[in-house]
Chains A and B, each alone.
Chain A
């Protein structure tokens, strides 16, 4: 405990200098805007800013503080466009759209923003505390996860997908299958053989999930908007006076705490990341709620839980990244790249060899969180202003930003055409009520899932019972089976499937 205090004061002595504070402030502000702009999220935001921080000649700690502030800021900002526009800034913010957007349409946008802002703070703050307390110790936990355990973990993610976004389990499952099928495209990791590439070199690495996300969310929004001429679409949502809904905050505090816990654990698991964190937090909250049918229709707890989970996962994801060098998400992968370029090698020894880096980072995260709470609750209108540009500028603007973002990553027009194709797919899916979230998760997790299955089979010489050979994997499989069966079982008690509530009302 004394160690912790000494370490923290070391961290604050570095991070609390006016210069670092200013960097944290700039990072938080820019990050929130990046997160709030539809189609831009933490990973492309941080990726965009790495070259700038280099050209500005920052030292390691400054660059780290600036970019982690952007990272946290973007996690906060992602909820703004999710709630007001029904466009998640990036994949972890997806779950927030489910209840946040219906709340906004009911004229409760201000409340949704405050609740989600506070939930983000709770999630991120608890996760940072958790990072502080557990990181040195948690460096060992990842050693318990072998191929069989990872496979079970991914199985759990897909089996619990059933109830999200759609009321038809076949449609959720087919969406997951589309995603998994797309994930198979590219070089097969285990044998180095091409699959479904048809000799096209752009497909050798598979389809980048950023292309899919931007296509499915941002580009399809353009089609949707043009069709409806704004009458049914997101951008018409207005934000009234922002009041702090104390009662609602009190009602959702349980959801926030549970969401933080689930999200934090999901974030720690390498490869799971923030998407899974917000997703599991939402599903967990829905499964224990007594008023399940109000989820998806504007239940504040459906906003609080995934937002807390998503931000807690962002903090949790730093643990495997810092202690093992294994990034838990796309964004931590980018942060890992940043550390390596700054000549900081993450690993079990980082905490003992470079304590000043680790602890000033932790101190900066704590400071950034407080700043973000202030920016995102009383000052949220500033960011909403940025989003309240007229739709005939915002929509083409978003489209062009989406194109540039993808173009700057790949420098090729093939990915742009692919993105337009995903836009069409997203439009069709939205029309016939096929959720797009499982498609993304399928693309994100598909390869890892297959690779782990095959690694497990190599290690066991083809003995399938190896998948159930450890208590961890048995536990995960049990939860997976329960998660898959529960919605089917519960649906029998509902007289008739409720109509989709995401877009029609």
Chain B
């Protein structure tokens, strides 16, 4: 047993040493520092594409942090506009920022959104000793006194996590949404800590951020913001079945430069589909609390356009943009 293990280690090291000497043909840009969602997307796509032999040479992952993704966006528009070998990791945060004009005037139609391979369902969470047993309890409490419930989330004001409770309140017919208290902290784990510590009354975030806390019993999930209940978390009710028609998922996908041909665009779509259907990706999704969410090609582009239009409307309403 041990012998084979050592042999495997030896040969794998050997192979990888040879592999690194060959040139990188394709590149995935993660518009952030290592760690975090975009980096994860790039590294998984790079590993899986090579493992399933969808590309001949390993894919290079480049980190290009800055401007909340804006630096990479600008670089792709300016320097790589016709480069068929580059993809850039993106998520709901990318489209939210584009919708809110946070990329210094650049717009979503300067690139093509080629596909999503999974999604992180939005969730509303309270501490285990919270008086709120379901979403209606919370909504009623806010309607009675908007200041009584403060939400913590991992994004800035007007960001994706902030939008989720606002959408729910609007769905409940409460229109004075600027009264809803929200603090943006540094990521989902921080938001949970604040909520469990009793500094805020609820947390808004993504499923992947709360998996560990749900299992340990520190928190109770009031609702997941998907169309159907999430596989593996069947006991968590959706907002929709509680009477609040809100769906908010943080998709994980990529965009490509605008100037590539339709054939090249479709080829990337096919590659992403292959990643989405691979066992490696399914395992990675289950491990990280992601739900299946595969949309590629023109289908995905039109879905993204719709999401951006909705975000613009809501952002105007809360005054994040004029």
Contacts and interface: CB of A to CB of B under 8 A. Distances in A.
B102 A192 contact: yes
B216 interface: yes
Contact of B34 (A334, A343, A448): A334
Interface string A174-210: 0000000000000111111000000101101100100
A13 interface: no
Contacts of B208: 345
A353 B147 CA distance: 38
Contacts of B75: 411-412
B67 A192 contact: no
B20 interface: yes
Nearest to B12: A57
Nearest to B208: A345
B320 interface: yes
Contacts of B66: 201-202, 204-205, 410, 412
A411 B27 CA distance: 14
B20 A55 contact: yes
B155 to A, nearest CB: 9
A19 B63 CA distance: 31
Contacts of B58: 55
Given A145-B197, A458-B181, A337 B39 contact: yes
A192 B103 contact: no
Contacts of B199: 146-147, 459
Interface in B179-204: 181-187, 189-190, 193-194, 196-200
Contact of B287 (A146, A345, A409): A345
B278 interface: no
Contacts of B283: 343
A447 to B, nearest CB: 9
A390 B287 CA distance: 51
Chain A residues touching B, range: 35 or more
Given A201-B74, A412-B71, A458-B181, A345 B212 contact: yes
B190 A326 contact: yes
A47 interface: yes
A142 B199 CA distance: 12
B15, B61, B102, B212 pick with most chain A CB within 10 angstroms: B212
A121 to B, nearest CB: 29
B183 A349 contact: no
A199 B193 contact: no
Contact of B40 (A143, A147, A340, A346): A340
Given A192-B156, A458-B150, A349 B70 contact: no
Given A143-B196, A459-B150, A190 B156 contact: yes
A452 to B, nearest CB: 9
Contacts of B196: 143
B65 A205 contact: yes
A377 to B, nearest CB: 32
A47 B34 contact: yes
Interface in A400-436: 409-412
A57 B65 CA distance: 26
Contacts of B187: 326
B301 interface: no
B156 A336 contact: no
Contacts of B74: 201
A47 B61 CA distance: 13
A144 to B, nearest CB: 6
Contacts of B39: 337, 341
Interface in B142-186: 147, 150, 156-159, 181-186
B231 interface: no
Nearest to B183: A455
Contacts of B243: none
Nearest to B182: A458
B69 to A, nearest CB: 10
Contacts of B68: 187, 204-205
A326 B198 CA distance: 17
Contact of B189 (A326, A334, A341): A326
Given A55-B19, A146-B197, A348-B212, A410 B36 contact: no
Given A50-B34, A142-B193, A189-B156, A204 B65 contact: no
A19 B212 contact: no
Interface in A287-346: 324-326, 333-334, 336-338, 340-341, 343, 345-346
Contacts of B34: 47, 50, 334, 337, 341
A21 to B, nearest CB: 14
B13 interface: yes
Given A201-B104, A202-B71, A205-B67, A337 B197 contact: no
B13 A348 contact: no
B68, B211, B284 pick with most chain A CB within 10 angstroms: B68
B212 A347 contact: yes
Contacts of B221: none
A497 interface: no
A204 B31 CA distance: 13
A51 interface: yes
Contacts of A191: 156-158
Interface string A136-151: 0000001111110000
Given A54-B43, A143-B196, A201-B74, A337 B156 contact: no
Contacts of A190: 156-157, 183-184
Contact of A143 (B33, B63, B181, B193): B193
9 contacts: A56-B16, A57-B16, A144-B197, A146-B198, A192-B159, A201-B103, A455-B185, A459-B199, A459-B200
Given A57-B15, A343-B283, A347-B216, 13 more contacts: A54-B47, A55-B16, A143-B197, A190-B183, A202-B66, A204-B102, A208-B65, A270-B193, A324-B189, A325-B212, A340-B35, A350-B212, A459-B150
Top 9 nearest A-B pairs by Cβ distance? A337-B35, A347-B212, A146-B199, A143-B197, A204-B67, A325-B189, A348-B216, A455-B183, A192-B156
